[in-house]
A and B are shown apart, each in its own frame.
Chain A
């Protein structure tokens, strides 16, 4: 069984550009989460999808970030325009169990560097 897959593994962009990160969850997992680790600090929750609906987006830092999950399958996280402080590692996780991340499986992350 394939795990959670994230693309790209690493992205370097200039300040002001746009970047789109993609997450393919484990097949059949309705719950999809995005987290971010900035500058070696703690990993912080960004948002939670249940199928195609945003269940909780309280962790999204500002309106430069847009997450979508069309059709309830893969998800994208777009940053537009990117700022220097957006650099970090973006993790995606998915789980079958609703309302709890205990069984969540994480992807390897996308390292975003904004220069």
Chain B
């Protein structure tokens, strides 16, 4: 069945460091791919998305490129801030109007000053 695999955390970085959180997927057809973020005490928020191969999603300095050949959607940011500390979830939605998101296990990011 469809699945999403994320790198295990926690990821601990110093402020202004480069961030990569790996995400790979297994899915039938051509899914849409997402990154969600959960800041402490808040709900899940959509961070960025990509709906077809080679698309790049971007928001708040974060980027991820839909790589069909490697079935990956790695999240990157060139310079993290303390305020980026959160749990990040990679997710997919199968094509064809399926109504459910399939999430990875989440990666906790802690950024220190």
On chain A, the number of residues with a Cβ less than 8 Å from chain B's Cβ atoms is 28
A-B contact count (CB 8 A): 62
Q: Which residues of B contact A91 (CB under 8 A)?
A: 43-44
Does B77 interact with chain A (Cβ within 8 Å)?
Answer: no
A-contacting 9-mer, from B11-19, B68-76, B103-111: B103-111
Q: Which residues of B pack against A, CB within 8 Å?
A: 4, 32, 34, 36, 41-45, 49, 89, 91, 93, 97-106
Give complex CA distance A41, B105 in Å: 5
Query: If A4-B43, A108-B41 touch, does A102 touch B93 (CB 8 Å cutoff)?
Result: yes
Task: Tell whether A45 pairs with B105 under 8 Å between CB atoms, given A3-B43, A101-B93, A102-B49.
Answer: no
Task: Determine the chain B residues whose CB is within 8 A of the CB of A100 once the complex forms.
Answer: 93, 97, 99
Q: List 11 A-B contacts (CB under 8 A).
A: A3-B43, A42-B4, A43-B91, A43-B103, A43-B106, A48-B100, A59-B100, A101-B93, A102-B49, A102-B93, A106-B45
